[in-house]
Structure 1
């Protein structure tokens, strides 16, 4: 079961494929579970993050699960709307799609975090829906990504979400060991998920394991890396009149082998 893959000190490495092909290849590399990425799904649709509907985010996550056969936790942003009822509805829809998990954020796309009471009420409603569906619920505290990050507020929210019954808690934006340690302490016995990679500092898997983290994801990093390589090569063609692939580009045969499993 997906929940059993979350072990403090032995974190689940859960990358975020952005389309069917990346999911198939990452499975072939040996990963056990995926998180979807709302940003990566939006890029695939030719749109910026925060513009997908709830159904579109669910479709993206369902595609990853269908082609890989692995547990997938759906990135649902705020669940489609601000209310506790919307959060519960989103989790019930996840259950109907047969997805293993989902995350709910405590802010709307591009908007400051919700007041504490509303954020807790949304998690409580999502927890109740998750219990009915078997969905592994990740409650996210997003405040560290805003203009005025407040670790104390984040830890208060993480503690409250844990007490409300979230299966996993997640505070994107942790950049050093002291911040991770504070969130793990605030979470108590609830597994903590951490995002790894730029712009979130230079922490390693081994260091995060030592700090008691139970899950590590990559957010939109893989999608941005893939698009970055392609766009850099295309820009060179336009601006320099030459074309050269990045040195780490996989060969045709290597890609084909991964897609065949």
Structure 2
């Protein structure tokens, strides 16, 4: 893809996406894994939709977090980038350790219509992740870079502030700390930040209103909707096998078919 990202609709939409990150009134970001759920969520008045790397990988029969879904992720961004919503793409670690390759991927996402990119450090070297962030901001300055650190997701939280400071200095527009669910710890972290804080919603953690009161700017759902959809499919089959009538919301055939419209 060779389109100049400076000439795409993303350039106009990106500031609107940044403005959705508000303390006290955070962006509740649902994450889709293909075209239909993204369109369905947009129909429920969610102004922005993210993608989920686990959902994209599992739907394609590929491993998550192994840099195996670069093409699938870009293909989904192309399919969703012209939709009636603002699109942020979960890009694992950028699918490469080479900052130039990550920058080219970000440039392609921006050209496709994405306004945000989320990519993670996996507790690898902070300097390497910072180099990717810097390269992305140079390649697609308008793309909202949400820099994720896995200090709480994969570790005990040690080094969070130092990593976030490094990523902020590299040009990150927001920071993401999945696995952080303690409200006091969230409030303490916010006192050290001058960019929006994104947290991952956890069914066992604080409810959305409490996270909003704590001052977070963005609440992502990650793979939750995909996993819930799989759970609903399994529950439906268990009901049918047991002779029960399935319950729960079931969109009509025509409603789902309409999601293919542009």
Common fold, TM-score beyond 0.5? yes
* Correspondence for 2:144: 136
* Correspondence for 1:191: 196
* Correspondence for 1:180: 186
* Alignment CA distance shift 1:203-1:194 (3 Å): same
CA RMSD of aligned residues (A): 2.5
Q: What pairs with 1:216-255 in structure 2 (closer than 5 Å)?
A: 216-234=219-237, 241-244=241-244, 247=247, 249-253=248-252
Match of 2:137 among 127, 143, 148: 127
Mapped pair 1:97 → 2:145: no
Structure 1: segments with no counterpart, 5+ residues? 108-112
Q: Following the alignment from structure 2 to structure 1, what is the Cα–Cα distance between the partners of residues 237 and 134? A: 47
Once the two structures are TM-superposed, the CA of residue 258 in structure 1 deviates from its matched residue by 10
Structure with a larger share of its residues in helix: 1
Instruction: For residues 223-251 of structure 1, give each alpha carbon's deviation from its aligned partner in whole angstroms, at most 9, with x where no partner exists.
Output: 000001112333566xxx4254654x214
Equivalent residue of 1:197, what SS? coil
Instruction: For residues 119-156 of structure 1, give each alpha carbon's deviation from its aligned partner in whole angstroms, at most 9, with x where no partner exists.
Output: 2222222222231xx2111111023222xx23231221
* Alignment CA distance shift 1:117-1:245 (3 Å): farther
Structure 2: segments with no counterpart, 5+ residues? 1-15
Q: Following the alignment from structure 1 to structure 2, what is the Cα–Cα distance between the partners of residues 210 and 50? A: 32
Once the two structures are TM-superposed, the CA of residue 117 in structure 1 deviates from its matched residue by 2.1
* Alignment CA distance shift 1:196-1:245 (3 Å): farther
* Correspondence for 2:79: 63
User: How many residue pairs are counted as aligned between the two chains?
Assistant: 244
Q: Contact 2:77–2:112 at 8 Å: present in 1 too?
A: no
Equivalent residue of 1:145, what SS? coil
Once the two structures are TM-superposed, the CA of residue 191 in structure 1 deviates from its matched residue by 0.7
Instruction: For residues 186-229 of structure 1, give each alpha carbon's deviation from its aligned partner in whole angstroms, at most 9, with x where no partner exists.
Output: 3x22011111123xx42122221222211111000000000011
* Correspondence for 2:163: 157
Q: Following the alignment from structure 1 to structure 2, what is the Cα–Cα distance between the partners of residues 194 and 215? A: 6
* Correspondence for 2:6: none
* Correspondence for 1:110: none
